[in-house]
A = this chain, B = another copy of it.
Amino acid sequence: MFSTSIPAKQIVYQLKEPQSSVPAAAFPAYKLWSSLKDVCDLLRIAATPSIEQETLQFQHVRYRRGQRIYTMGQPFKALYVVRDGALKTVVVDDAGQEQILSFPMRGDMIGIDGIFPRLYSSEAIALSDCELVYLPFKQFAALGKSHLGLDSAIYSVMSEDLLREQSVIRMLGAIGAEARVAQFLAWMSKRFDEIGQGGAAFSLPMSRIEIGSYLGLSLETVSRAFSHFKKAGFISVDRRTIDIHDWQALAGLRHAAPAGSQKQRDARKRSA
């Protein structure tokens, strides 16, 4: 139904479900292969001399807005690193409910959650046209053995992902609605800044519904929070265009917690 198999060394434009009739050629023939060092740079892994000498190349794949990179239940074959564009990863429960897990952007690795069950256990969908580096898992994992420190670096990438999820859990479990949205905006701003797209003014790649799903809120609550921050002068909002005027104010809203958890009770008991 949806064959992701990419025959060993062959350029494949991933253009199923064209949706709009732009031909593949409409994409500039950017750069379709990455060396191991390129991948490490993307992932912010320090490259050793040994890594720089590796000649194995990894293919780039492109997706259009709305396309699925992989689907729940599909056999796990590869990891992907985002080179350009924005995506969402979601799980769909048996009732058809979508829950968004992350919004991967440049430098993020996706597909990790498929390693253990040997099946992708979430779906990745492109929010904008995007370009990914395709890493066949076996080949990539094998490189960990031949390059000193690369295995630890891969562990690091996975560990980082765990950390990111932990901060989401913390947010969902112990923070009020407005503070979640504020923190989300602060994160996005920081993220766009790192990527070099200007952290102060950017365009959100996702809808209010998607933000709501990610934050455990309804779309209306997200919208209202935006409006509130606008009135307070922290940001400007116009549709998906955001200008951050007061990053500190947003990041500072982390506290203000009325949701899910006991406010200021108990705190800590045992003295260390």
Q: Does A205 touch B at the CB level, under 8 Å?
A: no
Copies in the complex: 2
User: Contact between B169 and A169 (Cβ–Cβ < 8 Å)?
Assistant: yes
* Contact A162 B158, CB 8 Å, known A2-B272, A216-B173, A216-B261: yes
Q: Which residue of B lies closest to A209 (CB)?
A: B266
Q: Does A197 touch B at the CB level, under 8 Å?
A: no
CB-CB under 8 A from A216, the residues of chain B are 172-174, 259-261
CA distance A169 to B92 in the complex (A): 13
CB-CB under 8 A from A168, the residues of chain B are 169
- Give chain A's interface residue range (CB within 8 Å of chain B): 35 or more
1/0 contact trace for A117-132 toward B, CB 8 Å?
1000110000000000
Interface residues of A in 252-270 (CB under 8 A from B): 254-255, 257, 259-262, 264, 266-268, 270
Chain A contact residues, CB within 8 Å of chain B = 1-2, 17, 66, 68, 71, 91-93, 95-99, 101, 112-117, 121-122, 141, 144-145, 151-152, 154-163, 165-166, 168-170, 172-174, 209, 212-219, 254-255, 257, 259-262, 264, 266-268, 270, 272
Q: A99-B170, A158-B162 are in contact. List 6 more A-B contacts (CB 8 A).
A: A95-B257, A113-B162, A116-B156, A117-B159, A173-B214, A216-B261
